[in-house]
């Protein structure tokens, strides 16, 4: 479809019909919504530029077809999505069923569209549309959309009449008023009917800051602002980008009111303090912990429902324990948890060796499917489940030894405690762990002159023993002194011999 804008800009004398026919000849997957190139062209009819929400800030959506193949909705980052059912009544999109189901499973507000072929029977196309969506649309299902950007060789009056036939059948069959998708210039040139203003408008316009709308409408409901190419949008990812002109709440209302999320969890309790108070741990310490959550979604939790690290997601935690599923997965569900039920996620925190204050964040996810905090799901947010942990250095062992009492030996300090000083002349006792030992004046351990310790009794016998020890020590001293004098005497005698 890009060739349309190029030739129009060049002033080529080609008709839109001819170019569309050329495009459909090369389209092996059928035609898809791409009328936005018309914004770059011109028309003989007046159009009105109409601003709304910022195209990057409003609720984001995607519209897909078999051109995108097996589309990964988990990475689209959208609140709503539309999948093509068919190109006319003859080409059925093989990816519609899987896209339709996956959008619902992921909690994405879903819609279906049909590339309308004015040259084919309008009733047959409308009936196919109703059949494929299963009749009446439910909560979370956006109105069906008719993609009007081809003429099929029909006159404006015929095209307008067939659109009305299609809309009447689809509205009655699905219970919701359909949306009309088109380009402002295409509608002005090839439909030329201003009586459709009562139906929501999905305008296609690539490039401008505000789109133009055709005669008959005063505002737009959806805007396809990009075809996935970065030349038209900074968030191009290879698929059509759309925005809803309103709030997320208004979008849900359009889809049929409040929609219960597929996956959701609410906080019940946790074993560690709230983040305003730090949990203290010693370096290398391992501590049992748990977080209890309630299933607020519509789908049971199973073995793929897990706690995961967040802020950022899937980071390796400094507190990962060998019992964790992985360094970024503390725990998972064992068995199943029905909607409304609660589950205690139990895990261990293993403190790192480096002291400091750490902030740990956790989220919930269905592994390989979605995070509970993704758009359309029920939470909790990535920054809600938090633990503030202060890691301190591990304590050393042993304390200072007490001073020795007079004539006694100092007692040894126990682990973490200080030994008390000896009382009187006795040695100190040993301090108990974490306590203080006092000395005894009547008993203790006395070292002899060879360094060995001799046990001395207490009481009166103890005092007698001390006298005995003193006498023995005095005798030893005198004996040693006498020996010293005797050793010097012969020298003096040799010096005085006759």
Quote the pTM value: 0.54
* Residue 387 in this model has a pLDDT that exceeds 80: yes
- State the average pLDDT for the chain: 79
Residues listed for the chain: 498
> Angle CA(399)–CA(402)–CA(407) in degrees, nearest 5?
155
Per-residue pLDDT tens over the stretch 313-357 = 999 999 999 999 999 999 999 999 999 999 999 999 999 999 999
Indicate which residue of 63, 87, 93, 366 is catalytic.
Answer: 63
Indicate which residue of 93, 102, 147, 149 is catalytic.
Answer: 149
Distance between CA atoms of 341 and 282, rounded to whole angstroms?
35
* Residue 86 in this model has a pLDDT that exceeds 60: yes
Name the least confident of 113-127, 293-307, 327-341, 459-473.
Answer: 459-473
Task: Supply the DSSP string of 150-187, one letter for each residue.
Answer: --TT--HHHHHHHHHHHHHHHHHHHSS--EEEE-HHHH
Instruction: Give the pLDDT score at 46.
Output: 65
| Sign (positive or negative) of CA dihedral 227, 232, 238, 241 | negative
* Residue 24 in this model has a pLDDT that exceeds 60: no
Instruction: Give the pLDDT score at 45.
Output: 60
Q: Is 149 among the catalytic positions?
A: yes
Token reading at 118: 């004015």
Q: Tell me what the mean pLDDT of segment 356-379 comes to.
A: 91
Distance between CA atoms of 110 and 460, rounded to whole angstroms?
100
Q: Tell me what the mean pLDDT of segment 405-420 comes to.
A: 41
Neighbours of 490 (CB within 10 A): 9
Instruction: Give the pLDDT score at 109.
Output: 94
- Among 143, 34, 37, which Cα is nearest to 87's? 34
- Among 471, 439, 473, which Cα is nearest to 458's? 439
Decide which of 310 and 400 is more confident. 310
Decide which of 191 and 68 is more confident. 191
* Residue 388 in this model has a pLDDT that exceeds 70: yes
Distance between CA atoms of 26 and 15, rounded to whole angstroms?
17
Decide which of 164 and 480 is more confident. 164
Instruction: Give the pLDDT score at 230.
Output: 76
Instruction: Give the pLDDT score at 167.
Output: 96
* Residue 498 in this model has a pLDDT that exceeds 50: no
Q: What are phi and psi of 93, to 5 degrees?
A: -75, 120
Per-residue pLDDT tens over the stretch 120-139 = 999 999 999 999 999 899 88
Q: Is 70 among the catalytic positions?
A: no
Q: Tell me which H or E stretch contains 275.
A: none
Q: Tell me what the mean pLDDT of segment 134-163 comes to.
A: 95
């Amino acid at each position: 479809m890009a060739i349309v804008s190029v030739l129009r800009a060049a002033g080529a004398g080609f008709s839109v019909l001819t170019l569309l026919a050329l495009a459909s000849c090369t389209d092996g997957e059928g035609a898809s919504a791409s009328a936005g190139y018309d914004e770059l062209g011109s028309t003989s009819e007046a159009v009105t530029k109409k601003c709304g929400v910022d195209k990057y800030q409003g609720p984001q959506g995607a519209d897909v077809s078999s051109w995108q193949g097996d589309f990964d909705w988990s990475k689209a980052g959208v609140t709503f999505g539309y999948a093509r059912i068919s190109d006319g009544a003859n080409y059925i999109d093989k990816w519609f069923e899987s896209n339709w189901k996956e959008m619902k499973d992921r909690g994405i507000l879903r819609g279906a569209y049909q590339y309308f072929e004015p040259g084919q029977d309008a009733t047959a196309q409308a009936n196919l549309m109703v059949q494929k969506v299963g009749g009446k649309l439910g909560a979370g299902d956006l109105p069906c959309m008719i993609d009007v950007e081809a003429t099929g060789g029909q006159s404006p009056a015929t095209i307008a009449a067939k659109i009305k036939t299609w809309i009447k059948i689809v509205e009655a069959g699905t219970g919701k008023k359909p949306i009309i998708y088109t380009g402002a210039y295409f509608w002005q040139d090839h439909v030329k009917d201003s009586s459709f203003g009562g139906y929501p408008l999905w305008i296609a316009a690539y490039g401008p800051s505000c789109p133009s709308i055709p005669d008959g409408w005063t505002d737009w409901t959806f805007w396809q602002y990009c075809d996935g190419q970065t030349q038209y949008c900074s968030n191009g990812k290879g698929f059509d980008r759309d925005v809803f002109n309103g709030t997320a709440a208004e979008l849900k209302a359009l889809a049929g009111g409040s929609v219960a999320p597929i996956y959701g969890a609410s906080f019940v309790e946790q074993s560690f303090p709230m983040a305003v108070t730090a949990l203290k741990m010693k370096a290398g310490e391992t501590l049992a912990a748990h977080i209890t959550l309630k299933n607020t979604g519509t789908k049971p939790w199973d073995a793929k429902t897990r706690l995961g690290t967040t802020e950022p997601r899937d980071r390796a935690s400094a507190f990962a324990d060998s019992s964790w599923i992985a360094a970024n997965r503390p725990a998972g569900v064992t068995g199943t948890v029905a909607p409304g039920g609660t589950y205690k996620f139990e895990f261990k925190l293993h403190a790192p060796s480096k002291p400091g204050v750490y902030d740990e964040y956790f989220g919930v996810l269905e592994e390989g499917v979605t995070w509970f905090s993704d758009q359309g799901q029920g939470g909790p947010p990535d920054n809600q489940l938090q633990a503030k942990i202060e890691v301190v250095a591990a304590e050393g062992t042993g304390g200072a030894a007490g001073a020795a009492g007079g004539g006694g030996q100092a007692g040894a300090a126990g682990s973490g405690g200080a030994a008390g000083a000896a009382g009187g002349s006795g040695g100190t006792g040993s301090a108990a762990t974490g306590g203080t030992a006092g000395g005894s004046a009547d008993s203790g351990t006395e070292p002899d002159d060879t360094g060995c310790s001799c046990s001395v009794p207490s009481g009166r016998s103890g005092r007698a023993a001390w006298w005995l020890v003193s006498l023995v020590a005095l005798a030893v001293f005198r004996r040693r002194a006498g020996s010293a004098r005797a050793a010097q005497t012969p020298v003096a005698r040799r010096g005085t011999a006759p």
